[in-house]
Structure 1
C-alpha cells in the first residue's frame, strides 16, 4: 500500500507539473502582442501573452480531474509560481485514497495514513537522493520548483503543438477563448525525457522510439484563456494516443482537466512541523544501487 501511495502522489505531482509545467521558456516573458479582442493564431503569440499575464499574477488556485481505464483522481489546491519562492499545496483523492501534498522550499511532503510511521503524519522527499528513483522524483520536484507557472504548458504547445481552431465561448459564465491544439507526441515525449536523469532516459528513449516508429501520433489539447489572457481551463485527451499505441479496448480512455481560478489571490503554503515529518525510504530494486535517505 505504501508503494501505491507513493506512486499516486508522484502521479499527482507529475500531472500537475505537466498540465501546469511543460517546457521552460527561460528568463522574463516577452511583452505580449497587442491583439485587442481577437484570438491568437500563432503559438508564440499565445505563449507570450499568457506568460506575461501570469508573471504579473504570480498565484492561482486550481482543481484537477483525471480518469481512464477504471481509475480516477481529483484534486484541489493552490500555487505560487513567483521565481525563487515557488510553492504548492494540494488535497487529492486517488481512487478513494485521500492524501495531502505540499511543495515548499524545494521539498515534497506527503500526508497519508498509509505512509504514516512512528506517529509522524508527513513523509518528505527532497531533490538530493542518489538512486535513480529518487533522482527521477527529485527531477520532477526540481521542474515543479522552476516551472509551476501554469502557462508553461504553452511552451510545450509552441515546441510540439499546432493550433487547429480558435473560437469565442463562455466558461463558467465568463467570456473566454477556446484554443484547440494538436500536440506532436514524439516531440512532447522528447521534451519530457530531456528533464529526466540520463540513466532512466537511455532505456525509455529506445522503448519510445520503437513504439512510435512510423506513427504520426498527435494528442488533442484544449486551452481556455479568459478576457485577461489568463488560463482558466486545460483539457488533455490522451485516449487516442493510447489506442494508437496498442492499449487494450476499454483501457485507452484517459482524460485530464485542470481549472484555474483566483489569479493573484494570496497563497500561504507552509512546511509541516519538523516533529511530524519522516524521510522517505525508497524501495530497493534488484540491479539498482542501494537507495539513500532523503534529507
Structure 2
C-alpha cells in the first residue's frame, strides 16, 4: 500500500555513485571529467540541504501522475506527498519520524477514517513497508539523486550558455540495478525485466547556487517511454508536517 508514489521516480532513482576520471582526459565511456566533478560538487552542496519542495510529473502510456513533495531531511525526517492522477493507492502520504500515514483512495476502506497508519518499528502490520518508505525518502532527496547520476559513463555539460548549468547523459539497465541492496536486487531485477526497462536518458539543470533545480528522466520500457520530471525549489524553507487528526486514522 505504501509503495513509491511515482513509478517513474522509482525507476530513475536507483543508480549507483561512481566518480572516476581526472583533469585533461576522458573518463570511462566518454564522460567529461569536468562534468563528473560538477556532479560531485552538486551532490556535496545538496547534501547540506535540510528542506526542499519537489513538484514531480510522471508521463507514460497510462494516466499522467503529478506529485508535490515537501520534505525535511534532518534533524528529524518529515515528508508529505500529495498525488493526483491515476490509481496511486494513496492520494497523500505523510512520514513523521518513524510513523507513516496514507490517505487511501478507496472510499470503502473504513467509513470516517480515510487514513491508514503504521510504524516502521516493531512487528505491526505494515512495519516493513514503512521502513521501505523511510529509506525511499532518504534515497530520493536531491543529493542522492545527483549521486545516482554520477554512474553515467557519458555525462557531459551542455554547450548551452545561460543562467542555469545543464548536464546530460544516459544510464544503463545494469547501472540501475547496482544501487539496490543485494538482498532485494533479484526482486527489483524481475520488476525491471517485467517492465522491459532499458536505457535512461537524463537532463539535470542547476540553479545559480549550484543546487538541482530540474531533473528530467526518460526511461525506455517495453510499452514506451516513461518520463519523470522533477522541479526542486524552496531549499531551506521551513517544512511543517503534522499527523492527520487521530479520529480519522485507523491502523492496518
TM-score class normalised by the smaller sequence: 0.7 to 0.9
Partner of 2:94: 102
Higher relative contact order (CA 8 A, sep 6+): 2
Q: 1:54-102: CA deviations, max 9, x gaps?
A: 34431111111101113210122311122x4121112110327782211
Query: 1:204, 1:96 → 2: CA distance?
Result: 21
Counterparts in 2 of 1:54 and 1:21: CA distance versus 1, 3 Å:
farther
- Kindly indicate whether the alpha-carbon contact (under 8 Å) linking 1:17 and 1:147 is maintained by their aligned counterparts in 2: no
Rounded Cα–Cα distance in structure 1 between residues aligned with 2:99 and 2:8: 17
The aligned residue for residue 122 of structure 1 is 115
CA gap of 1:270–1:117, structure 2 versus 1, over 3 A, is: same
**Contact 2:8-2:227 at 8 Å conserved across structures:** no
| Partner-residue secondary structure (3-state), 1:100 | strand
Alignment partner of 1:271 out of 234, 243, 252: 243
Matched position secondary structure for 1:140: helix
Provide the aligned C-alpha RMSD in A: 3.6
User: Residue 80 and residue 95 in structure 1: after superposition, are their counterparts in 2 closer, same or farther (change >3 A)?
Assistant: same
Gaps of 5+ in 2: 19-31
Residue 76 of structure 2 is aligned to residue 85 of structure 1: yes
- The TM-score normalised by the length of structure 2 is 0.76
What is the aligned residue count?
Answer: 237
Deviations 1:210-244 (A, max 9, x none): 999xx9x53111111111111010100002xx1xx
**Retained in 2: the 8 A contact 1:79–1:148?**
no
CA distance in 1, matches of 2:146, 2:201: 14
List runs of 5+ in structure 1 lacking aligned partners.
1-5, 26-38, 281-295
CA distance in 1, matches of 2:234, 2:195: 41
Q: Which has the higher helix share?
A: 1
Q: Is the 1:21–1:144 Cα contact (8 Å) retained in structure 2?
A: no
**Aligned counterpart, 2:23:** none
CA spacing shift, 1:126–1:20, aligned 2, 3 Å: farther
2:216 to 212, 232, 235: 235
| Structure 1 residue 183 corresponds to structure 2 residue 155 | no
**Contact 1:219-1:236 within 8 A present in 2 as well:** yes
Residues 219 and 266 of structure 1: is their aligned pair in 2 closer, same or farther, counting only changes over 3 Å?
Answer: same
Whole-angstrom distance in 1 between the partners of 2:52 and 2:199: 29
Equivalent position to 2:203, from 211, 216, 222: 222
The equivalences for 1:127-146 within 5 A come to 127-128=120-121, 135=128, 137-146=129-138
Structure 1 segment 1-295 matched on structure 2, within 5 A: 6=1, 10-12=3-5, 41-43=34-36, 45-82=37-74, 84-95=75-86, 99-114=91-106, 116-128=109-121, 135=128, 137-169=129-161, 175-192=163-180, 194=181, 198=183, 201-205=185-189, 218-239=199-220, 242=221, 247=222, 251-280=223-252
CA contact (8 A) 2:113 2:247 kept: yes
Q: 2:102 is paired with a residue of what secondary structure?
A: strand
Question: Retained in 2: the 8 A contact 1:77–1:90?
Answer: yes
| TM-score, with structure 1 as normaliser | 0.66
